Amino acid sequence: MNTSTKPLQIVIVGSGFAGTMAALAASRLRHEKNVSPAALAITVVSPEPEMVVRPRLYERKPETMVAPLGDLFTATDIHHARGMVDRIDRVAGVVGLRGPDGRTSTLPFDRLVLASGSEGFKPPIPGLAEFGHSATALEDAVALDRHLHLLADRPASPARNTVVVGGGGFAGLEVATEMPGRLHEILGKDTQVHVIVVERSPQVAIAQVADNGVTLDDGETIEAATVVWSAGMRASPLTAQLPAERDHLGRVIVEPDLRVPGAANVFATGDTAKAATDSEGHFAVMSCQHAHRLGAFAGHNAAADLLGEATLPYDQPAYVTCLDLGPDVAIFTRGWSAKAELTGHQAKQVKQEINTVWIYPPAADRAAAYENVHAARTVDF
């Protein structure tokens, strides 16, 4: 325990799913051990005290996919610092902070939880940065939505009515299956729209993007006024400032309690961590499902480490997916073998509950928030 008048400091980088849960978990353990917030301070650093609900950015009105956190942080005695962390000095125990006004400062820490998430990966395909869109970050999703609405001002043409989605993974399919409905609302229900998914493979991939379509690497061209890139994520570049080994996605390969090897005062969580979920060789994926639980363990362990308590090894043996496939269709699977349990309308109802209830932060009530942390760390699907 800290016997000086200077409070111990836990700094959490990011207010996404993992960062928010980490802050709440640290606050919960502090409360359980009757430690004053004046003795153990918890600070979350992010541009705003809010959570971007990124799994919903493929939907309509992406600007509404933001959940405020200010009242929740107040209820649980968590500080918020506006800004972005651009430097980690694990030896000195400080992070470099760039505020909204561009001014720089430092923030000391005794334990750091890196929960800075991930960002969309765009390969150096000619024209992609200039003409491509994405729905992996809030500002990008808003820009895509604005672009779609501006299509109504263009003359009707095959290109105007066509969307090419680069990437046929989970996120790409959700973008693709949402597009027909969005385009019909904007262009008219009788408009014939086309959504084409291009999946990277040895046979065919997008080679070039222009303002009027794409060229595939086999020479075929597709006229399209809208190109959405959804082919992969990479961990926050802050992981490169830590001494540990990283995987091909840039994630830190963490110890069982999510500590960063070679940096005893740093824990990595959420999309910044490659963490074993069980003893069967499975690892957490970049998803809110894993981020919730990873955050709960990381925050608990950061606080436990400072309070003289044993840290806990992360585990998450249960794994489910729920893939949105359009207005009234989804598929719900369980296990790493992706065994389908629900399809069609039933699965869609589950997906809607996930998207509108489960993935949102808890109520701004101390008891409810702490119960949510307990569930995140102990309850499996």
The mean pLDDT value for 16-34 works out to 98
- Looking at residue 335, its pLDDT comes to 93
- Looking at residue 6, its pLDDT comes to 85
- Looking at residue 58, its pLDDT comes to 95
Q: Which strands sit side by side in the sheet containing 206-210, from one edge to the other?
A: 206-210, 213-216, 221-223
E-assigned strand segments in 138-243: 162-166, 194-198, 206-210, 213-216, 221-223, 226-229, 233-235
The mean pLDDT value for 120-124 works out to 90
CA 105 to each of CA 40, 50, 142: distance values in angstroms, whole numbers, following the listed order: 21, 21, 30
- DSSP secondary structure of 238-307: GGGGSSS-B-TTS-EE--TTSEETTEEEEEE-GGGEE-B-SSSS-B--SSHHHHHHHHHHHHHHHHHHHH
The pTM score is 0.94
Domains in the chain with CATH codes = 8-119+233-318+360-378 (3.50.50.60), 122-229 (3.50.50.60)
pLDDT digits (tens, 9 = 90+) for 238-247: 999 999 999 9
Please determine, for residue 3, whether its predicted confidence score (pLDDT) is greater than 60. no
Residue 78's Cβ-count burial label (10 Å; 0-12, 13-18, 19+) is buried
- Looking at residue 294, its pLDDT comes to 98
Confidence class of residue 205 from pLDDT cuts 50, 70 and 90? confident
**Encoded tokens for 129:** 């940065």
Chain mean position to CA 212 = 31
Confidence class of residue 251 from pLDDT cuts 50, 70 and 90? very high
- Looking at residue 217, its pLDDT comes to 86
pLDDT digits (tens, 9 = 90+) for 125-163: 999 999 999 999 999 999 999 999 999 999 999 999 999
Please determine, for residue 204, whether its predicted confidence score (pLDDT) is greater than 70. no
Please determine, for residue 226, whether its predicted confidence score (pLDDT) is greater than 90. yes
